[in-house]
């Protein structure tokens, strides 16, 4: 697994902030497409399990299973997990998953970190039961004219691109041909404004994960990165601004036919 943002304690705390910030978009997505109660619902790249709990709550599934490759995130996810929510260690690019065919497979902010999403989606489709749903939620665009926020975004986009990933993977996913037993039931962009404080909190918690990578050192002056980090910290502490950054979340629902 070549997960850019790593699996440290800080990364886990960042995923908690991320879970709180994006819960409304995922909830809206799940409420729009899940009409039958799933027996087994799977959350791929579940991290510390916040999305798995949300999936379980919104769909009222009988059993929810979170899958991740990070033992550290899984150990956090398993703490106080109710009986109907469990967590498994597995590389999600490999099938079969170590569970029975699922009625619903969900992932958020995962395909952006994987290579060859088209091949991966085909593989995931094989893990669905009849008429099962595959729900994918990824970033289409992020709009911001705020200097520090937009600088951060351009650095992360460049870093992901350098390892053949895309920050803004939504358009490519939407344009991808669907075949092999799947049909697209919904594809939309959900517009989601985030406060500057929340965005800067997530961003500032992410900088330590990558600031010492060779790519950064080769392409950006160390002073500039340090200044950016300080500015993000200060926005995270003090900003009360709204309307300075908006996410477009691509939400795609495929159904197995
Ligand atoms: C950005 S986090 C997203 C976590 C969660 N889905 C959310 O939206 O809050 C991506 C997660 O995918 C996991 N991951 C990345 N590549 C993976 C792989 N090949 N197999 C399993 N998990 C993977 C990472 O460990 C991390 O927990």
Q: List all residues 6 or more positions away from 129 whose beta carbon is below 8 Å from its beta carbon.
A: 100, 101, 102, 103, 256
Residue 7, token pair as written in the block: 């699996």
Mean pLDDT on 189-201: 97
With a 6 A CB cut-off, is 138 part of the ligand 1 pocket?
Answer: no
Neighbours of 127 (CB within 10 A): 20
Nearest ligand 1 atom to alpha carbon 26: 8
Centre of ligand 1 from the C-alpha of residue 223, in Å: 31
Q: Tell me: the pLDDT tens digits for 149-183? A: 999 999 999 998 988 888 999 999 999 998 778 99
Is pLDDT above 60 for 60?
Answer: yes
CA 11 to chain centroid, in Å, comes to 13
Q: Where residue 78 falls among pLDDT bands split at 50, 70, 90? A: very high
Task: Return the percentage of the chain with pLDDT > 90, whole number.
Answer: 87
Mean pLDDT on 129-151: 97
Q: Which of 84, 80, 86 is nearest to 68 (CA)?
A: 86
Centre of ligand 1 from the C-alpha of residue 219, in Å: 27
Q: Where residue 3 falls among pLDDT bands split at 50, 70, 90? A: low
Using DSSP, state whether 194 is helix, strand or coil. strand
Strand blocks (E) in the chain = 40-44, 63-68, 85-89, 102-108, 128-144, 182-194, 245-256
Centre of ligand 1 from the C-alpha of residue 233, in Å: 25
Secondary structure element (H or E) that encloses residue 174, with its range: helix 170-175
The answer to whether the Cα torsion of 8, 170, 165, 31 is positive or negative is positive
Centre of ligand 1 from the C-alpha of residue 68, in Å: 6
What's the CA angle centered on 168, arms 162 and 172, to 5 degrees? 100
Nearest ligand 1 atom to alpha carbon 137: 8
pLDDT value for 4:
58
Is pLDDT above 60 for 1?
Answer: no
pLDDT value for 163:
85
For ligand 1, pick from 68, 92, 114 the residue to mutate: most ligand atoms within 8 Å of CB.
68
Nearest ligand 1 atom to alpha carbon 48: 27
- Name which residue sits closest to atom 12 of ligand 1, judged by CA: 45
pLDDT value for 147:
96
For ligand 1, pick from 7, 29, 45, 159 the residue to mutate: most ligand atoms within 8 Å of CB.
45
85, 128, 158 from 42: Cα distances, Å = 10, 10, 31
Q: What is the rounded CA–CA span in Å between residue 211 and residue 234? A: 18
Domains and CATH numbers, the chain: 9-142+166-193+247-256 (3.40.50.150)
Q: Tell me: the pLDDT tens digits for 206-239? A: 999 899 999 998 999 999 999 999 999 999 999 9
Q: Tell me: the pLDDT tens digits for 244-256? A: 999 999 999 999 9
Centre of ligand 1 from the C-alpha of residue 234, in Å: 28
Using DSSP, state whether 236 is helix, strand or coil. helix
pLDDT value for 2:
56
Strand duo 128-144 + 182-194: pairing: unpaired
């Amino acid at each position: 697994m070549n997960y850019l943002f790593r699996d440290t304690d800080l990364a886990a705390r960042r995923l908690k902030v991320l879970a709180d910030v994006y819960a409304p978009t995922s909830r809206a997505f799940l409420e729009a497409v899940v009409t039958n109660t799933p027996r087994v619902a799977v959350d791929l790249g579940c991290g510390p399990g916040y999305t798995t709990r949300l999936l379980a709550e919104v769909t009222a599934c009988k059993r929810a299973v979170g899958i991740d490759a990070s033992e550290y995130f899984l150990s956090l996810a398993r703490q106080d997990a109710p009986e109907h929510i469990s967590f498994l260690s597995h590389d999600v690019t490999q099938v079969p998953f170590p569970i029975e065919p699922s009625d619903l497979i969900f992932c958020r902010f995962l395909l952006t970190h994987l290579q060859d999403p088209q091949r991966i989606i085909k593989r995931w489709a094989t893990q669905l039961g009849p008429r099962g749903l595959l729900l994918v939620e990824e970033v289409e665009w992020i709009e911001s004219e705020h200097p520090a926020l937009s600088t951060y975004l351009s650095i992360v986009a460049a870093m992901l691109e350098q390892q053949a990933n895309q920050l803004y993977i939504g358009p490519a996913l939407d344009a991808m041909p669907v075949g092999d037993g799947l049909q697209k039931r919904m594809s939309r962009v959900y517009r989601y404004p985030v406060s500057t404080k929340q965005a800067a909190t997530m961003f500032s918690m992410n900088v330590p994960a990558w600031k010492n990578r060779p790519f950064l050192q080769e392409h950006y002056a160390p002073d500039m990165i340090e200044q950016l980090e300080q500015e993000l910290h200060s926005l995270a502490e003090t900003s009360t601004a709204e309307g300075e950054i908006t996410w477009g979340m691509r939400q795609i629902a495929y159904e197995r036919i």
